[in-house]
Structure 1
Amino acid sequence: MSGIVTSPSAAGPLLAAPSTVDGMGAVIQPERRECTFRVWSLFADAVYVVGSFTTPPWDIRIALARDNPMPGDGHHYWSAHVGGVRDHDQYKFIIQRGSRAPIWKLDPYCRNATVSLDANGQSRPNNSIIDDPTFDWGSSPFHMPSWNELVIYEMHVGTFNNIEGRAGEFDEAVQKLDHLVELGVNAIEVMPAHDFETKTSMGYNPSLLFAIDEAYGEQQAVQKFVKAAHAKGIAVIFDVVYNHFGPGSGDCLWQFDGWSQNNRGGIYFYNDDRAICEWGENRPDFGRPEVRHFIRDNAMMWLHEYRADGLRFDSTVNIHRAMGKDNYDRGGIPEGWELMKWINNDKDAELPWNITIAEDLKHNEDITKETRHGGAGFNSQWDVSFYHALKDAVTRPADVGAIADALQRRYNGDAFRRVIYSESHDEVTIKSGVWLGRLPEKIDPGNADSWKAKKRSTLAAALTLTAPGIPMLFQGQELLEWGTWTDNPEISHANSMLDWSKKERFRGIFELYRRLVALRRNRDGNTRGLTGQHLNVFHVNRGAKVIAYHRWMNGGPGDDVIVVANFSEDSFDSYNVGLPCPGTWYLRFNSDWSGYDWTFSNKGYDTTANPPGNHGMKYQGNVGLGPYSAIILSQ
């Protein structure tokens, strides 16, 4: 093949023609022991690759030639096709600018890297590693569940299934997938797993965007995790971070080829005040087509090499707006908006059944509007207002009017354009020095296994799993986890690793969540309305703090669902509510059932709907309501 440089035995740089093989980074052909190396460097005068594949290793510089994979790019890509290269060989790029000292850099596209810890315990990548993405996925196809049937479980790999007190890995998370099958969820949202510099991390400080952090395993461990989840009927959604890179002194992107302005980040970053964001001065320069290609390629990697069923984009507002510290808005970033559209359009063209979710948190309907109508094209977005309404209602005297408003919010007229939750990683951790705490901890600090904490946190879960939207649980909710969650087990008085002993200790709470998930997914065939678009909040009693709503898809037996929720400490032996159809309405769920906890009072029963109507419904019936409880009725 033209342009191949074979592994030499004499020292000194070798010249090569540009590679004719597509792809960025190291594109390996292991059966032929050949590899294309390609890198973007805007201000380099010369670029070399060195590695373990030469004789002697690391002593031979192979000069890359100027390349032009994108029209109009000004020939700022460099590539060579090199022979004698094997899978798992190590390499680095050397960038030369004039007479300055050469800069040794990791490959921004590398799938793996050797790592060491510095004196402060921080993870520092040393060399890039060639890692062939080929994987045996088997012949059993996986079908993504319909978005209106999704129940998402947010997972942090490092703390989900800890082994002997250290951070967990993907291989170990596989061992707990049967727990998720038992719980009944059908999608996992994996918090960011790309390489980060700190010893532990939530993942929102990306260092090598294409590499899996060594604490969690390697590329094939992630592929095995996805394959195992698919075999159990569970979709996998990966959390990605494109609004900032780093921060970290060892970040390979920072001043990549030695050029920068205003002592900022160089070619991958804005070098003016648009660089300023909540996490430093490290916002990517979305105005450069090469940076947009880099990010788009990363999204496609997750979708194809890892067979992700969706992507959750962290803080999209920091992609399309120059949001600074203290939420200061310097204005829009049109190129960031175009980047999001590009990724969503490519996803829709290739994998339209997969889902993209935005964490924008600004109630911006354009985020989930179709790109052909000027929107960013995301399929759904996090709705933090639902969380705040629920949290307020169970931690202070409830305003059921605010709950009614939260139930009725939707984007673009679609109930499933939003993801709703009563806990997420953002709401249960340490933020800006504030210990936020998990919901039971917020309800009854220091006494999170109390009757009060159990009743109110499970009431919030019942609303989450019956309200219009895509419901999401944060890992450990079903175990009644409390305290403040963190990724770092060395922080005293905080809870990092899940306490799996709580599954038996609070088995009834787990069963409550399991039952709610089953009803939300219509596993018994009598609650289809919970997967439907329609909602009618027909009763709001601010005095008694009782709210009732009707969910349905098409209506009728097995479809119509009535939810009645009591946000007060009072119980009701006979509370009259309107009902849409006559006949018997069966109690499908009662969060006050004593089988979930022996301290619960066991109110709730089947009821019969008769005329005359009430609350705008044609019929009415009496129901039992325990304190801080929700019931679900259907025919």
Structure 2
Amino acid sequence: MSKEADIKEDKPKVKRADGMGATPHSGGVGFRVWAPHATGVSVIGSFNNWDGAKNPLQAEENGNWYADVPGAKIGDPYKYLLATEKGELTRIDPYAREVTGSTGNAVVHDPDFDWGDDFHLAPWNELVIYELHVGTFNDQEDDNAAAQFDSIAARLGHLKKLGVNAIQIMPVGEFAGDRSWGYNPAHIFSVELSYGGPRAFKRFVKRAHSQGVAVILDVVYNHLGPGDLDLWQFDGWSENGLGGIYFYNDGRSHTPWGETRPNYGVGEVRQFISDNVFMWLREYHVDGLRYDCTQFIRSVDGTAENDLPEGWSLLQWLNEQVTRQFPGRITIAEDLQNNSWLTKTVGAGGAGFGSQWDANFVHPIRRAVITPDDQDRSLAAIRDALCYRYNDDAFDRVIYSESHDEVANGKARVPQEINPGDPKGWYAQKRSTLAAALVFTAPGIPMLFQGQEFLEGEWFRDTVPLDWDQRDEFRGIVRLYRDLIHLRLNRAGFTRGLCGQFTQVHHLNEQAKVIAFHRWDQGGAGDDVVVVANFLAEPQEDYVVGFPAEGTWKLRFNSDWQGYSEVFSDHPSGDAGAETGECDGLPCHAAISLGPYSVLIFSR
């Protein structure tokens, strides 16, 4: 054998990078893409002058293609050039961690980031979630540009003082254009550039954690795009003119947002979604995920019970993996179809979500405060909303009176719905805070939508930033929300029951429009909480309700206090002296004084 042959034989083999997409390493970048119908694939980029002949990928098993490119490095833009039956196609990498725009190029992303944190999500019974939209939350400069992650970080002090310990962010995957709700993801592995891009999001998560605030991210897997979607007919193949390898190519493709439902029955597509889930948890350190419209993952039309079994099994697989690999992180379903199986464990046949948005709460509570005529309010509906449970667990549900869906699409903010002609007036203030008090005293994980704490009006649009001047104008209402959150989290040590599993609605008077309920965890002093709500526009004096024990029950919160608003009446409610004598099925009773449209919270 020749010396030249010896040298060739001894030359070390290049180790193939693991995983999909672009993987930088010390000797260059490994590129891998799934394109089973392509007859040839090359990677083109700044490292080879966009010449497809220089770096062809080699076919692997299962339709994957791979090449290691020694000259490529972090920061290089690139694309894939595919030879297909439809001719040559250029495509952005489906796994691109960074892009120059939704119709631009992929960029070799630097995975290194100095996290340096050891943050842990609060127990679920102590979570208070604040939903926000990055592009409108804190627009500090140009009205024509979307707000960015850095501007959210500037408001972390406000959220922390409010008592919020978890931010839920509407989707941040790269979308078409610069303004969007985010539910039209073109590139689910890349963070929207108009928000600051991937490194800005990592910096934001790190800063939020340093303030003791978790980050929950909204993700969209029920459809993709449909705009600027390079995944569409990615390698030139399709059936029926539909989306090709990543999508269903029959009637199952249809969603309310286009013909772009991923094909949950294909292993590579399931892995694509799974890899995205674990990217957010592993590479961005997010503390949970909220899945958009899961009813369109588990069913074709969003109503039938799991007629997409492969979608249901995907949800089970994802949640089982998250539970095993990231214990303590939360997954939340938005399904709104009263499906208790979503939050049953996978072992019991459920989907394994930690919690789900609860339509059984938001719709009756909104209706109760928006209805103009007091006599038309249904306290029975309020009772049912307070007591509803999935799988006998109070924290299987997220409860709220405002979310991005509930304040748009033909609906508006609660104060606006209450009084469109005067959304800052007495009626709007009183009844919207009545709803807020129920959110923070009912069993469940409470959630606010951005600006709710300072009476943001009108309806949500992705082009209209929050009016932060209202925080100063309604600083008393902000304090009301802060006081409710502090009571909900038992910050002073005498309202532990609001973090507990148990609720008893012991008083319901449809004529007087008064409802009272008892919350507790273990019971006893510092734990038992009694909440009384007056849904009438008139005060009620010497009103008798039951209490769990005799003695003085301290008034911890009166929503009619004038410190919350100068238009409130400061009704003279006070501590309740409970005496022995059965009332409302409880052993004791007390006479109390209730302000109009007001909530009182008592504890021992």
* Gap runs ≥5 in structure 1: 1-16, 69-74, 116-123, 489-495
**Residue from 527, 533, 536 that aligns with 2:504:** 536
How many residues are matched?
585
Counterpart check, 1:63 vs 2:31: no
Tell me the distance in 1 between the aligned counterparts of 2:515 and 2:304.
Answer: 38
**Residue from 114, 120, 140 that aligns with 1:136:** 114
Residue pairs, 1:596-615, within 5 angstroms = 596-603=564-571, 604-615=573-584
Tell me the distance in 2 between the aligned counterparts of 1:596 and 1:96.
Answer: 67
Q: Secondary structure at the match of 1:423?
A: coil
Tell me the distance in 1 between the aligned counterparts of 2:283 and 2:183.
Answer: 21
TM superposition score normalised by structure 1: 0.90
Q: CA deviation at 1:199?
A: 2.8
How far does the alpha carbon of each residue in 1:184-235 deviate from its partner, in whole angstroms, 9 at most, with x for none? 1100000001100033111000100000111101111111111111011101
Q: CA deviation at 1:18?
A: 9.3
**Residue from 529, 533, 550 that aligns with 2:518:** 550
Q: CA deviation at 1:47?
A: 1.1
Tell me the distance in 2 between the aligned counterparts of 1:339 and 1:615.
Answer: 47
**Residue from 336, 355, 360 that aligns with 1:385:** 360
Assess if the C-alpha contact under 8 Å between 1:19 and 1:80 holds in 2: no
Q: CA deviation at 1:630?
A: 0.6
Tell me the distance in 2 between the aligned counterparts of 1:330 and 1:101.
Answer: 42
Counterpart check, 1:474 vs 2:449: yes
Q: CA deviation at 1:582?
A: 1.2
2:269 corresponding residue in structure 1? 291
1:456 corresponding residue in structure 2? 431
**Residue from 81, 89, 99 that aligns with 2:76:** 89
2:10 corresponding residue in structure 1? none
How far does the alpha carbon of each residue in 1:385-414 deviate from its partner, in whole angstroms, 9 at most, with x for none? 211101110111310100000111110110
1:352 corresponding residue in structure 2? 327
Q: CA deviation at 1:41?
A: 0.9
How far does the alpha carbon of each residue in 1:30-72 deviate from its partner, in whole angstroms, 9 at most, with x for none? xx24111111112111111111112x4546441111223xxxx
1:256 corresponding residue in structure 2? 234
Residue pairs, 1:480-499, within 5 angstroms = 480-488=455-463, 496-499=464-467
Q: CA deviation at 1:330?
A: 9.7
Tell me the distance in 1 between the aligned counterparts of 2:506 and 2:52.
Answer: 76
Q: CA deviation at 1:292?
A: 0.5
Tell me the distance in 2 between the aligned counterparts of 1:567 and 1:241.
Answer: 38
Q: CA deviation at 1:328?
A: 6.8
* Gap runs ≥5 in structure 2: 1-12
Assess if the C-alpha contact under 8 Å between 1:398 and 1:568 holds in 2: no
The one-letter code sitting in structure 2 at the alignment partner of 1:389 is P
Assess if the C-alpha contact under 8 Å between 2:412 and 2:459 holds in 1: yes
Q: Secondary structure at the match of 2:485?
A: helix
Assess if the C-alpha contact under 8 Å between 1:25 and 1:109 holds in 2: yes
Q: Secondary structure at the match of 1:426?
A: coil
Tell me the distance in 1 between the aligned counterparts of 2:236 and 2:15.
Answer: 25
Assess if the C-alpha contact under 8 Å between 2:303 and 2:337 holds in 1: no
Residue pairs, 1:8-157, within 5 angstroms = 20-29=16-25, 32-54=26-48, 56-58=49-51, 60-68=53-61, 75-98=62-85, 100-115=86-101, 124-138=102-116, 140-157=117-134
Q: Secondary structure at the match of 1:611?
A: strand
Q: CA deviation at 1:141?
A: 1.4
Tell me the distance in 2 between the aligned counterparts of 1:18 and 1:610.
Answer: 83
**Residue from 219, 226, 248 that aligns with 2:205:** 226
2:9 corresponding residue in structure 1? none
How far does the alpha carbon of each residue in 1:361-394 deviate from its partner, in whole angstroms, 9 at most, with x for none? 1111110000011110000000012111011101
2:561 corresponding residue in structure 1? 593
Assess if the C-alpha contact under 8 Å between 1:23 and 1:38 holds in 2: yes
Q: Secondary structure at the match of 2:300?
A: strand
Q: Secondary structure at the match of 1:393?
A: helix
Residue pairs, 1:181-260, within 5 angstroms = 181-248=160-227, 250-260=228-238
Q: Secondary structure at the match of 1:181?
A: helix
Q: Secondary structure at the match of 2:441?
A: coil
Tell me the distance in 1 between the aligned counterparts of 2:439 and 2:303.
Answer: 32
Q: Secondary structure at the match of 1:610?
A: strand
Distance change >3 Å, CA 18–CA 331, structure 1 → 2: farther
Q: CA deviation at 1:125?
A: 2.0
How far does the alpha carbon of each residue in 1:77-113 deviate from its partner, in whole angstroms, 9 at most, with x for none? 1111221221110110111124x42110000010111
Q: CA deviation at 1:342?
A: 1.1
Distance change >3 Å, CA 33–CA 19, structure 1 → 2: closer
The one-letter code sitting in structure 1 at the alignment partner of 2:77 is Q
2:489 corresponding residue in structure 1? 521
Q: Which moved more, 1:288-297 or 1:620-629?
A: 620-629
**Residue from 399, 415, 420 that aligns with 1:440:** 415
Q: Secondary structure at the match of 2:114?
A: coil
1:8 corresponding residue in structure 2? none
Tell me the distance in 2 between the aligned counterparts of 1:329 and 1:45.
Answer: 40
Distance change >3 Å, CA 381–CA 631, structure 1 → 2: same
How far does the alpha carbon of each residue in 1:533-573 deviate from its partner, in whole angstroms, 9 at most, with x for none? 00101011011111000000000111000000111112112
Assess if the C-alpha contact under 8 Å between 1:18 and 1:78 holds in 2: no
Assess if the C-alpha contact under 8 Å between 1:133 and 1:219 holds in 2: no
The one-letter code sitting in structure 2 at the alignment partner of 1:519 is L
Distance change >3 Å, CA 172–CA 60, structure 1 → 2: farther
1:500 corresponding residue in structure 2? 468
Assess if the C-alpha contact under 8 Å between 1:47 and 1:94 holds in 2: yes
Distance change >3 Å, CA 213–CA 85, structure 1 → 2: same
2:5 corresponding residue in structure 1? none
Assess if the C-alpha contact under 8 Å between 1:18 and 1:67 holds in 2: no
Q: Secondary structure at the match of 2:582?
A: coil
Q: Identity across aligned pairs (percent)?
A: 50
2:259 corresponding residue in structure 1? 281
The one-letter code sitting in structure 1 at the alignment partner of 2:419 is D
Tell me the distance in 2 between the aligned counterparts of 1:618 and 1:357.
Answer: 39
Q: CA deviation at 1:275?
A: 0.5
Tell me the distance in 2 between the aligned counterparts of 1:156 and 1:283.
Answer: 24
TM superposition score normalised by structure 2: 0.95
Distance change >3 Å, CA 18–CA 279, structure 1 → 2: farther
The one-letter code sitting in structure 1 at the alignment partner of 2:575 is D
How far does the alpha carbon of each residue in 1:251-279 deviate from its partner, in whole angstroms, 9 at most, with x for none? 01111011111111111110100011111
Assess if the C-alpha contact under 8 Å between 2:494 and 2:603 holds in 1: yes
The one-letter code sitting in structure 2 at the alignment partner of 1:497 is P
Tell me the distance in 2 between the aligned counterparts of 1:352 and 1:630.
Answer: 37
Q: CA deviation at 1:313?
A: 0.2
Counterpart check, 1:418 vs 2:404: no
Tell me the distance in 1 between the aligned counterparts of 2:476 and 2:360.
Answer: 29
Q: CA deviation at 1:446?
A: 2.8
Q: Secondary structure at the match of 1:318?
A: helix
Distance change >3 Å, CA 247–CA 21, structure 1 → 2: same
The one-letter code sitting in structure 1 at the alignment partner of 2:133 is H
Tell me the distance in 1 between the aligned counterparts of 2:179 and 2:542.
Answer: 52
Assess if the C-alpha contact under 8 Å between 2:24 and 2:108 holds in 1: yes
Tell me the distance in 2 between the aligned counterparts of 1:162 and 1:526.
Answer: 39
Q: Secondary structure at the match of 1:137?
A: coil
1:373 corresponding residue in structure 2? 348
1:159 corresponding residue in structure 2? 136
Tell me the distance in 1 between the aligned counterparts of 2:134 and 2:454.
Answer: 17
Q: Secondary structure at the match of 1:340?
A: helix
The one-letter code sitting in structure 2 at the alignment partner of 1:65 is Q
2:8 corresponding residue in structure 1? none
Misfit runs of 4+, over 3 Å: 56-61, 327-331
Tell me the distance in 2 between the aligned counterparts of 1:278 and 1:199.
Answer: 22
Q: Secondary structure at the match of 1:536?
A: strand
Tell me the distance in 1 between the aligned counterparts of 2:20 and 2:306.
Answer: 32
Tell me the distance in 2 between the aligned counterparts of 1:194 and 1:243.
Answer: 14
The one-letter code sitting in structure 2 at the alignment partner of 1:63 is P
